[in-house]
Amino acid sequence: MMVCVTSKGPGPDDLAEERFGRSPYFLFRDTEGGEWSSVANEFADAAGGVGPRAAQVLIDRGARVLITGNVGGNALAVIQAAGIEIYMYRESGTAGDAFQKFTAGQLKKFA
């Protein structure tokens, strides 16, 4: 299952990012194993409409789970329509830490 973690940098050792649409990077990893991959968010500094466009990146990459701190209204509509589950991570750890907590079942699902 493909998981996306919002991150301040391109690797799992970079800090997790609380914002979804304006997250600098989206990191992807399969729960079945394999390598991390990353996509720089080209909309991070855009004036508006970042949420749905960022959600499109997740959809195109086949993510089934999103780990982030907060999701805006428009992005939420897209993510829910796409059936992607959202888990909240609001601690100050790395993207890798957030992924570990998710796989250990320690993250809360976003209502």
Smallest distance from the beta carbon of 81 to another protein, in angstroms?
A: 6
State how far the Cα of 1 lies from the Cα of 3, in Å rounded to an integer. 6
The yes or no reply on residue 12 touching another protein (CB under 8 A) is no
The yes or no reply on residue 43 touching another protein (CB under 8 A) is yes
Q: Find the binder of another protein among 50, 66, 71, 86 (CB under 8 A).
A: 50
CB atoms within 10 A of CB 45: 9
The yes or no reply on residue 69 touching another protein (CB under 8 A) is no
Q: Find the binder of another protein among 32, 33, 35, 48 (CB under 8 A).
A: 48
Smallest distance from the beta carbon of 46 to another protein, in angstroms?
A: 8
Q: Find the binder of another protein among 7, 38, 51, 107 (CB under 8 A).
A: 51
State the residues that interact with another protein by CB under 8 A: 43, 46, 48-53, 55-56, 59-60, 74, 77-78, 81-82
